[in-house]
Amino acid sequence: MSLKHRWSLLALGSLSIVAVLGSSGCCTVTCCDTKPRNQLVLVLDGDKPSIDPIVISWSARQEIVWKLPAGSTITNVEVQLEGKPKPFEACDTSTEGLCKISCREGLCPSGPIDAALPQPKKKPYPYYRYSFHHSDSKASADPGFEIDP
């Protein structure tokens, strides 16, 4: 087979792969500019208090994921509402004044910001305190998170 023929087959094969994958594999390049690349805010070692407050963006629709240490007994994150609306759609508000976020497999994902939560307009921005609920009823605290515009 000639060299020219091999290059033609290589080009045809590459085009076939792109056609099969479509745009699903191109988020690492530039075609997914309509979706925020920094949507998740990861809080490492969620069992310990953070030094800095966590800040998430309402307009970027950021979500918080608390990553728990191996062997953690944390079952959920309890966000104190203190008269404020629930911050996330996944909030279990069956206990008055609390938003409970379940933890599974070492992660506690907040899910998206609640669509009914109004966009913050001016400081002070909404600040929510939270604590972790352990299976042995022990509680640990974290300073909280702020939702900026």
Q: 20 pLDDT exceeds 50?
A: no
pLDDT score for 90? 87
**Is residue 63 domain-shared with residue 103, that is, in the same domain?**
yes
Where is 10: in which H helix or E strand?
helix 3-21
Tell me the pLDDT tens digit for each residue of 52-90.
678 999 998 899 988 888 888 888 999 999 999 999 998
Which residues form the domain of 106? Answer: 36-148
**Is residue 2 domain-shared with residue 59, that is, in the same domain?**
no
pLDDT score for 67? 86
Q: Model pTM?
A: 0.65
Q: What does the radius of gyration of the chain's CA atoms come to, in whole angstroms? A: 22
pLDDT score for 18? 37
In the chain, how many domains are there? 2
